[in-house]
Chains A and B, each alone.
Chain A
């Protein structure tokens, strides 16, 4: 059963076994698929050892944790071989950390692949188009080696229709394609997958960008086989072009195992009702829009909708709700008590409109919402959703000058009501240290704390002080914290606290913060579990970069943009660390330029066994 967290896909790594999360255990090096071990290709073992290896293989079949597998492979040659034979899932956190052929040579019986590409700041237009993370070399290697591959899960990769065709042609048992924040493919590729992957169970397209020309859209929904399908999950809300609704309705009708369906915004309520009637067994539903289509005769859509939701006893997760017409919301009242997950983050609702819904959602564990509901709306959430584990509050108007209706007051309410909170993402314009401190004390189970005060360098709105004290409380009191995003006016002191107390932090995101090199040094030296560090627009220079040299091999990557770095510092890092790839990315560069600019605008460095990549575009310089 898939975790809710990975279904609603922003980069979230909470939970013990959430699919994208590294395991929360003690070792420093976590997710390198090639852990230490003897080189491949040594001579076969003596006969008695072979028997032992066979026994060992049978045992290792049961070992699923990536961390444990890496440890097992390091015991001795025999264990290394046995582990390589029995590994079924290949996880590669950075597609450039290892070459495809090497992965394929070591692990020969893979059934499931998880592969991640671009750094997360690519989501916010900080990585120029064409940077890389091409799936092509991987799919070609897998196609040749893994006949039994069943599942491919990609995040922030560049995937073409040709790659999708190779998938469809190479893997006769293929069952599960999940693409998150990918780009480069179109409905043509989807049609190939639909048509040729006869055992497809999961087709999840989550926040991808499809390259469809308006007149070249393919009717991919019609390409699924006409027989009963084994589809369990079909998610395509990010596919923005219109589709063949009648074909979808027929597809749903002949997919008895379908549990998760998320449609795009070309579906109005009347059509939704028809889909729900075809699939009363759904557990997860993405409604597309939540408005009435025009001109559907005299049938009252509200009445049918009410009975449709009333009949859907298994629904536990609702999302969609774009272009919401709130007068239709009462239709979902019957199922609110069953909901564990509700995504209103595209629904422009006021507190009054939210109230009657949320007051019925006693069992909600995951809630995404827009700040249009205001502090008052969050108060209702706090009073009702006592079991809430994850909250995300997005801005209706995502700009620095916007007038957000949520503030420290809403955060305070949530901290008092939702004591079991594990993960929070909170966009706002006004915040106080007191509210953040309160949350740190009331919600000790916090694993993910991401606060985004949208105005840059904003201090505590009441005291005028930096937000250092708030974040200090978070790292001190939330002893399970592994992911932190900071914002607001922050001095080096904040980073001193993070380095001192944030011993479990694996992912840290910094923007417009700090005073000097000291800030970054504190973090690099203090956060011993740090894996992913992304920094923008902060005054950290070469000295702080160089101070991190002892630690970069233990991290997956470091991103620094619009800081105070220069080529001198970056070159020194590259010189000292042969297994580190140091990329300097420049904007707006078409061809190789002779003249080298000393200031480094964007730095991306990562450990790698593959050396400098050969597919880097002209605007990427690898030192």
Chain B
């Protein structure tokens, strides 16, 4: 077979050989093929969010298993997100005002608890499973609007799905765990 000779940035050639996902012969825009959907909500894989959409994402490329997709977020010093921070509202039952907290600058649950304790002047806001002696629990609302207990999912996943935080009385939160 003759090798093609015109490389080095010849976009015409690249376009001609570029595979499209539409049926052969059609000239439509590249489209994602049907993604296999699972019947139940998965905690591990969330929707694949792109900061910059230069290409339509192809299914299954790069070939990385679902456990690795969306597992991480950029570290604090390398944040390139244009939105400039990820502020979520925090409410505490019985407190008159809401607060705002930037999840982007935090590294993990420990830091989150420390910051919240400082904000709401509580003596302690819960151990590893979200409860403390005074019975406060930290909960959050996720993308689907469900109320979840903080701490169940990896930190990075929590940051990408948390819409707002709510510190509630432990007795109200029992049903979540």
A contact residues around B1 at 8 Å (CB) = 491-493, 496, 515-516, 518-519
- Taking the complex as formed, is B61 at the interface, i.e. its CB lies under 8 A from any CB of chain A? yes
Contact with B63, one of A213, A241, A511, A562 (Cβ below 8 angstroms): A511
Q: Known: A128-B34, A240-B43, A587-B34. Contact between A291 and B108, CB under 8 A?
A: yes
Q: Which residues in window 104-141 of B have CB below 8 A to A?
A: 107-110, 113-114, 124-129, 132
Assess the B132–A452 pair: CB atoms within 8 A. no
Given contacts A127-B36, A323-B108, contact A400 B127 (CB under 8 A): no
Given A124-B59, A400-B61, A491-B4, check contact A207 B67 (CB 8 Å).
yes
A129 within 8 A of B: yes
Kindly state the interface size class of chain A when it binds its partner.
35 or more
Is A438 located at the chain interface by the 8 A CB criterion? no
Is B94 close to A, CB under 8 A? no
Query: In this complex, which of B48, B125, B128, B152 has the most chain A Cβ atoms within 10 angstroms of its Cβ?
Result: B128
Given contacts A348-B72, A587-B34, A588-B34, contact A399 B57 (CB under 8 A): yes
Instruction: Name 20 A/B residue pairs within 8 A (Cβ), A-sorted.
Output: A123-B65, A125-B59, A125-B60, A289-B154, A291-B110, A294-B128, A295-B127, A345-B68, A348-B72, A394-B64, A398-B69, A400-B57, A400-B61, A454-B62, A465-B8, A493-B1, A512-B61, A538-B19, A539-B19, A562-B21
The minimal Cβ–Cβ distance linking A559 to chain B, given in whole angstroms, is 12
> B155 touches which one: A127, A323, A562 (CB < 8 A)?
A323
Partner of A492, one of B3, B21, B55, B177: B3
Q: Does A427 contact B (CB under 8 A)?
A: yes
Question: Residue B98 at the A interface, CB < 8 A?
Answer: no
Contact B108 A295 (CB under 8 A): no
In the complex where A294-B126, A537-B19 touch, is A511 in contact with B61 (Cβ < 8 A)? yes
B65 touches A346 (CB 8 A): no
Q: Size range of the interface on B?
A: 35 or more
B3 & A10 in contact (Cβ 8 Å cutoff):
no
B126→A401 contact, CB < 8 A: no
Q: Interface readout for A89-124 with B: 1 if CB under 8 Å, 0 if not?
A: 000000000000000000000000000000001011
CB of A589 to closest CB in B, whole Å: 9
Q: Report B-chain residues with C-beta under 8 Å of the C-beta of A292.
A: 110
When the two chains form their complex, are residues A457 and B14 in contact, meaning their CB atoms are under 8 A apart?
Answer: yes
Known A293-B127, A323-B154; contact A398-B64, beta-carbon cutoff 8 A: yes
Checking A127, A322, A457, A465 against B154 with a beta-carbon cut-off of 8 angstroms, the contacting residue is A322
Main secondary structure of the interface of A (DSSP, over half): loop
**B37 contacts partner chain A, Cβ-Cβ < 8 Å:** yes
Contact with A along B140-159 (1 / 0, CB 8 A): 00000000000011111000
Using A294-B126, A325-B108, A399-B62 as known contacts, say yes or no to A457 and B18 having CB atoms under 8 A apart: yes
CA distance A511 to B19 in the complex (A): 10
Q: Which residues of A contact B114 (CB under 8 A)?
A: 294
Q: Which of A406-453 contact B (CB under 8 A)?
A: 427, 452
On whether the beta carbons of A493 and B59 are closer than 8 Å, the reply is: no
Best-buried of B24, B126, B156 by chain A (most CB within 10 Å): B24
Which residues of chain A are near B36, meaning CB under 8 Å?
A: 125-129, 587
Q: In the complex, what distance in Å separates the CA atom of A121 from the CA atom of B66?
A: 12
Task: Known contacts A124-B60, A322-B154, A562-B19; decide if A295 and B126 are in contact (CB<8 Å).
Answer: yes
Contact A401 B54 (CB under 8 A): yes
The CA-CA distance from A34 to B4 in the complex, in Å, is 46
Query: Which positions 338-363 of chain A face chain B at CB distance < 8 Å?
Result: 345-346, 348, 350
A201 within 8 A of B: no
Bits for A367-401, please: 1 = Cβ < 8 Å to B, else 0: 00010100000000000000000000011111111
Residues of the A chain whose Cβ atoms lie less than 8 Å from the Cβ of B89: none
Q: Is the CB of A238 within 8 A of B62?
A: no
Tell me the nearest residue of chain B to A10, going by C-beta. B65
